[in-house]
Amino acid sequence: MNTQLQRMKRLLEVGRTLNTITELRDALLLILDAASELTNSLGASILDPEPDEQNLRFLVNTPELQMLQTLLIPIDESIAGLAFRNKETVVVNDIRNAPRHSRLADELSGIFTYSVVACPILFRGEALGILEVINKANGANYTGEDVMLLETLAAHAAIAIQNAHLQQQLEETREEAKRLDKMKTDFIAITSHELRTPLGLILGHSTFLRELVSEEYHEQLDTIIRNAMRLKEIIDSMTRLHNVQSGVASVRRRTVSVRKLILDSLAAVRKDAESKGVTLGFDIENSDLMIEGDAEKIGVSILNILQNGVAFTERGGYVFVTAEEVPGYVKIAIKDNGIGIPAKDLPHIFERFYQVESHLTRKHGGMGLGLSVAKMNIELMGGRIWAESTEGQGSTFTILLPLDADQARAADKVFIN
């Protein structure tokens, strides 16, 4: 006979063990064993509703009731169903007084049920299922203490079931995220490939036409060429991403001047900055600073950040570039006093196609690819890139690049996130 203290200990042990079990079935079996043993019952089961909520099915049983596993219990004609609908424990000590009892289970199991406790498994007011015990030993009556024990165990079951649901949802969300990420990868691969050739033809032919036609048509052709060039930039970004994604991209290291890289990029945005009234500035600590790196990839990365700096800074603002040597690296920072980036968006801005403002309402062009290209390029060289920003005050993008190939190889091992 279990003393009250022994029962309490057993309950405590179930609670502790449950924390270490990851499989729902194992957790529920542990609960059933305790339920059956502590209430001196012949056996115990956990049932849950079918999706249409017409029947309950047996989720798990103790071995004595294993033969019930495939049986469906009609919710409106069973004791378990009554407990499920009313969300209240039902105790039946003499089955002859229970008109709702379904005899199906007895017929299938060959066990005559004479007493039952059906206890709802409740989570936030919702019944997730039923914990049921049958036939207390020696024809004894189920007591208030039995009910309390079962309700405690049902609460454990509720948490275990809920955790399993959450785990499943998490896995589904992960799968969905993976699927979406693959769609982005495929989209980039297909678009960069399929648009390149027709666009090359448009550009080639319109440039050729411009030479042939009289000056009065130059303006129209210039518009075509300018916009085709803009499209080409977008496709170039996609191609760069695709090359890194598919492992085709390689790093061509040469010794390049950091000053030249920065000045070339600044020159490329000068016209836009001037027409917008944004001041450009720089401060390069050591004008002889050289780096072993891929000039094209570094240049594109700095340029993309500078273009954003100019685009997201109001008239009268500035974009300022600094470069300094830190042990083993060069640190390039691009700071603006523009609109800044909301804290909730900051962790995402390097993702492909991510844009803070909705694409439909925003004033600036772009596809949300510039920063992801920069990040892939910089990381390909063993470098790092990150952003700090305060909404309404401005942003600083920092690039840390290894000074030479040896440092880059060492950084590869250090910077794996």
Residues 322-341 touching ligand ADP, rule: CB under 6 A, are: 336, 338-341
Tell me: does residue 234 bind ligand ADP (CB under 6 A).
Answer: no
Minimum CB separation of residue 268 from ligand ADP in Å reads 15
The 372-391 contact track toward ligand ADP, x by CB under 6 A, reads x-------------------
Instruction: Determine whether 290 is exposed, middle or buried from the number of CB atoms within 10 Å of its CB (0-12, 13-18, 19+).
Output: middle
Tell me: does residue 317 bind ligand ADP (CB under 6 A).
Answer: no
Minimum CB separation of residue 372 from ligand ADP in Å reads 6
Minimum CB separation of residue 188 from ligand ADP in Å reads 13
What are the two backbone dihedrals, phi and then psi, of residue 411, each rounded to the nearest 5 degrees? Answer: -65, -35
Structure tokens at 383: 């470098």
Q: How many residues bind ligand ADP (CB under 6 A)?
A: 22
Structure tokens at 51: 């999706």
Tell me: does residue 349 bind ligand ADP (CB under 6 A).
Answer: yes
**Binds ligand ADP by CB under 6 A, chosen from 371, 381, 399, 401:** 371
89-128 b/e with 16+ CB inside 10 Å = b?
bbbbbebeebeebbeebbeebebebbbbbbbbbbbeeebb
Residue 381 CA to residue 261 CA, distance in Å, equals 15
At a CB cut-off of 8 Å and minimum separation 6, what does 246 contact?
A: 189
User: Which of 84/312 has CB closer to ligand ADP?
Assistant: 312
Minimum CB separation of residue 345 from ligand ADP in Å reads 7
Structure tokens at 356: 């803070």
**Binds ligand ADP by CB under 6 A, chosen from 61, 113, 265, 308:** 308
Tell me: does residue 356 bind ligand ADP (CB under 6 A).
Answer: yes
Cα distances from 219 to residues 159, 210, 216, 222, in angstroms, run: 70, 9, 7, 5
Tell me: does residue 203 bind ligand ADP (CB under 6 A).
Answer: no
Alpha helix (H) ranges present in 277-401? 295-311, 370-380
Tell me: does residue 73 bind ligand ADP (CB under 6 A).
Answer: no
What type of residue is 339? Answer: I
User: Which of 73/369 has CB closer to ligand ADP?
Assistant: 369
User: Which of 113/307 has CB closer to ligand ADP?
Assistant: 307
Structure tokens at 75: 């919710």
Options 45-53, 90-98, 294-302, 355-363: segment touching ligand ADP (CB under 6 A): 355-363
Residues contributing to the site for ligand ADP (CB under 6 A): 304, 308-309, 312, 336, 338-341, 349, 354-357, 366-372, 395
